[in-house]
Structure 1
Amino acid sequence: MHELGCLYDSSFPDTDPFEPQPGGCCSILPFFLHDLVELPITLLQDHTLFEILEQRTSDIWISKADWLVKHRGLVNVLVHPDYTDAHRLDVYAQLLEHLTGQAGGWHALPREVAAWWRLRATLERDLAGRIPSGLPASVTVAHAVLVGDRIDIEA
């Protein structure tokens, strides 16, 4: 893909135990493949949800999305318009309604996520491991710190 000049791709699931050859990239965050930003598919594909698991609701998607948000991961779902009917559109709408109701999330297009991931890769740290001030207004930096037996995020 990077030979074609693509800036990002979403070909790899984080996990996918339901495929003939199960697996995944084991990441809930974007990552680089050469100069291509990979945005992992982190929710079940619609075909898996509707056809293989025979689900009629968005509960599995919502449960995984909540887990991803809790772990500060990327919520990325692949849907196919050729599987769409009125009921499935309602299920998609349930997921989108749930996601837009989440406080503090960033609802971005794939190209925006890829652009941020590229910018993030260029940031430099000072000797204390902190990213210095003077960043573009679009950048928010948080630091993870170990507090006892848990990790806290300091904005």
Structure 2
Amino acid sequence: MDIADESPRGMASYDAADGGRGMSVLNAMYYLFKPFLPQAVRYNMRRLRANYKLQTAKDWPIMVSAGETPRGWQGWPDGKQFAFVLTHDVEGPLGLERCHQLAEIERKHGFRSSFNLIPEGGYEVTPEFRKSITDLGFEIGIHDLRHDGSLYRSRKSFDECSVAINGHLREWRAVGFRAGFMFHNLEWLKQLEINYDASTFDTDPFEPQPDGAGTIFPFVVKGRTPEESYVELPYTLPQDVTLYLILRQPTNEIWREKTDWLAERGGMVLLNVHPDYIAFDGRKPTISEFDSALYEDYLIYVKEKYAGQYWNPLPRELSQYIARQTPGMPESAT
């Protein structure tokens, strides 16, 4: 497989003149004061910004050029039409409590997913909890280090954090990473001992660092040595928080429509859903939640409309598939 180094669309990396932060002064101030802002104020601020972005977003939720098939693409295993990848970022103690409820919904419909956990955040990740997830056939990944917006504050900060992140990767036997707030620098990430990263997206103007990968396919980021190389998995469906908490969408129609477009082009449907913000068991959602029925109904839609046509790998399995087709990838990734 001839997959280009870095993004096939030439995704912008962090501006060195910006100290590697990749965010504006306003964004930096927001994350600095975020812990002290009431939840309603935070959502209103993000909603105002998102509605402004919505007026000028020409390539959202679909970027037509992102659907171009990469040179040398060999397709999905067993002739499947597209890949269907489910991921979850767990941001707080409430989300941790809800992981098994979310997993049960997916198991009910024959799906598997990965749960990305914060190693040094506001909750404790015990070996017993990790085992309870992996024993179900699901995956555990690393979500940032502290999820406080400081990971990319400077190169020095990232270097220091990478040592701790690698320690957690080894301890948890995890091979995947996703940064908080979807900040990304594909060059710096070569320091992590990972098989894949999932901190990018095909197109998403609502993220604080909105430069996208511009592709709906996974791609390889090659380092100077095989050990520095990894697979990048951009998410390709709008995040749940964007749709339901910020834009206040009443249905999952955007997920459905884009899934149809992705499937038609043989790409990767990769979704990120947060258990922290899901109201289960028919309970009325709060201002910071959406009904789990929106997610379950979407899973049923995919299962029924595309029966036998999709491959539902764990992210680690997808990255292994890409690595096996790419010369020079480390043996650990295959």
Give the structure-1-normalised TM-score.
0.72
**Percent of aligned pairs with the same amino acid:** 43
Give the 4+ runs in structure 1 shifted more than 6 A.
none
**Mapping 1:56-135, distance limit 5 Å:** 56-86=250-280, 87-101=290-304, 102-103=306-307, 104-122=309-327
Q: Secondary structure of 1:90's partner?
A: helix
- State the Cα deviation string for residues 100-120 of structure 1 (Å, max 9, x = none): 221311111111111111112
Would you say 1:19 and 2:213 are equivalent positions? no
- State the Cα deviation string for residues 32-69 of structure 1 (Å, max 9, x = none): 12211111100001110112211122110111111001
Structure 1 counterpart of 2:236, one-letter code: T
- State the Cα deviation string for residues 61-120 of structure 1 (Å, max 9, x = none): 111111001001100011111111135311111121122221311111111111111112
Q: Which of 41, 48, 52 is the matching residue for 2:235?
A: 41
Structure 2 counterpart of 1:5, one-letter code: E
Q: Shift of the alpha carbon at 1:18?
A: 2.1
Q: Shift of the alpha carbon at 1:20?
A: 4.2
Structure (1 or 2) with the greater helix fraction:
2
Q: Gaps spanning 5+ residues in structure 2: where? A: 1-188, 223-228, 281-289, 328-334
Q: For 1:43 and 1:37, locate their aligned partners in 2 and report how far apart those are by CA, in whole Å.
A: 19
Greater relative contact order (CA < 8 Å, ≥ 6 in sequence)? 2
Structure 2 counterpart of 1:3, one-letter code: Q
For the aligned residues, what is the CA RMSD?
1.5
Pairs aligned (count): 122
Q: Shift of the alpha carbon at 1:19?
A: 2.8
Q: Secondary structure of 2:317's partner?
A: helix
Q: Secondary structure of 1:75's partner?
A: strand
Structure 2 counterpart of 1:105, one-letter code: Y
CA shift in 2, pair 1:37/1:85, >3 Å: same
Structure 2 counterpart of 1:67, one-letter code: W
Q: Shift of the alpha carbon at 1:6?
A: 1.1
The answer for the alignment partner of 1:55 in structure 2 is: 249
Q: Gaps spanning 5+ residues in structure 1: where? A: 123-155
Q: For 1:56 and 1:3, locate their aligned partners in 2 and report how far apart those are by CA, in whole Å.
A: 41
Q: Shift of the alpha carbon at 1:3?
A: 2.3
Give the structure-2-normalised TM-score.
0.35
